Amino acid sequence: MKAQIKTVTICEDKCTDYPRNKFRDEVMPTFTEHHGNQVRGRELLATAVDIIKSKFTNDTEALIAAQRVMELGRRRYRAALTVDATIVTPAKRAKLFKDYNGLAGIEQSQRIGATFVMSGDLRTWFQQLADAVIAAIKSGKVKSV
């Protein structure tokens, strides 16, 4: 079976102390820009080009893959936010993702809302991870991470 692009998932994964504000003020406008194929459409295609080049060696298949990346019906939008333990009930998660269903032209099957319950500050851990990755790359012993 030939490789083909079935769906394209646009992810907005955010670690924040204020998940509702982050979702409303940053994630929702970004998804609207992507779905409107404004400037974000070109960014999405530019990001997908490396994958397309590696999987589709035939020029015609590569062109079809690029066209599929741009098709709005193939898009999925995933908003993943860090939350504290107080936002674990369905009602509170619904409040967090309020208005997600109001994105013009984006069907329910295209929307994914996820939460990651955390306790404490993860910034130190993420910084340590980033430092370890950078050190591994600079050492020359690792070709990709």
Residue 1 lies in a domain: no
**Domain interval for residue 79:** 8-120
pLDDT of residue 121: 74
The answer to whether residue 34 is domain-embedded is yes
pLDDT category, 144, cuts 50, 70, 90? low
Measured CA to CA in angstroms, residue 66 lies from 9, 57, 89, 106, 138 at distances of 14, 13, 40, 20, 33
Task: Decide if 130 is inside a domain.
Answer: no
Enter the tokens of residue 130.
Answer: 């980033």
Predicted TM-score (pTM) of the model is: 0.78
- 14 within 8 A of 22, measured Cβ to Cβ: yes
Residues 6+ apart with CB under 8 A from 39: 33
* Exposure of 140 in the CB half-sphere (CA atoms within 13 A): 0
The CA angle 32-37-38, to the nearest 5 degrees, is 85
The predicted pLDDT at position 13 comes to: 94
Structural domains counted in the chain: 1
SS3 54: helix
Q: Is 128 within the bounds of a domain?
A: no
Indicate whether 64 belongs to any domain. yes
Q: Is residue 138 part of a domain?
A: no
pLDDT digits (tens, 9 = 90+) for 56-68: 888 898 899 999 9
pLDDT digits (tens, 9 = 90+) for 86-139: 998 999 999 999 999 999 889 999 999 999 998 777 778 888 988 998 888 888
Q: What is the pLDDT of residue 14?
A: 93
Query: Does residue 37 fall inside a structural domain?
Result: yes
Q: Does 96 reside within a domain?
A: yes
